[in-house]
Amino acid sequence: MTTPQAPRTTPAPSTSPISPVDLFASALHIHPGGDVRVAGPRTTIDDTGVWHVGTFHVETDADVHADHWEMHPEADEVVCCLSGGFRVYFRPHEPGGAEDMVRLRAGTAVIVVRGRRHRLELDAPSDLMSITLRHGTRLERRTGAQ
């Protein structure tokens, strides 16, 4: 005697279309709980706990606000060089001290620790990616910047 088999079921199709996301025209926001949403590339995030993944093509130092120090108070930041090359400068801990510098080439990244003021200068037109919690990000004009 054979036992009847349960009918086979297939998973329901997804209700959202599967399509590529243009990372240079959009940003990804990773929300607490794991939801990922597509947003504008330079969207300001007012929500705490939302990770911002932004990818940018930059041509000049003005594109990376080289005349300002940037600081993220809520999390570390990963700055990735996808193509080209640039330098990441870190503001000295003590007034009058020397800036620390890391040179990035395609395929490399640096982790900027939470609360550390930093800035970028280009060696060539570049594609870069930044991953951080942007809530509370602060920009401060560099003293003596052109």
pLDDT tens per residue across span 25-64: 999 999 999 999 998 876 666 667 999 999 999 999 999 9
Q: Are 35 and 28 in contact (CB under 8 A)?
A: no
DSSP state of 75: S
- Average pLDDT of the chain? 87
Residue 136 neighbours by CB under 8 Å, 6+ apart? 72, 73, 74
DSSP state of 8: P
What does the block give as tokens for 4?
A: 């009847």
pLDDT tens per residue across span 83-95: 999 999 999 988 8
What does the block give as tokens for 40?
A: 């504008």
Whole-structure pTM value: 0.82
pLDDT tens per residue across span 119-131: 999 999 999 999 9
What does the block give as tokens for 82?
A: 């996808």
Amino acid (1-letter code) at residue 95: P
CB atoms within 10 A of CB 79: 21
Residue 122 neighbours by CB under 8 Å, 6+ apart? 58, 59, 60, 61, 63, 64, 66, 84, 85, 86, 87
CB atoms within 10 A of CB 100: 13
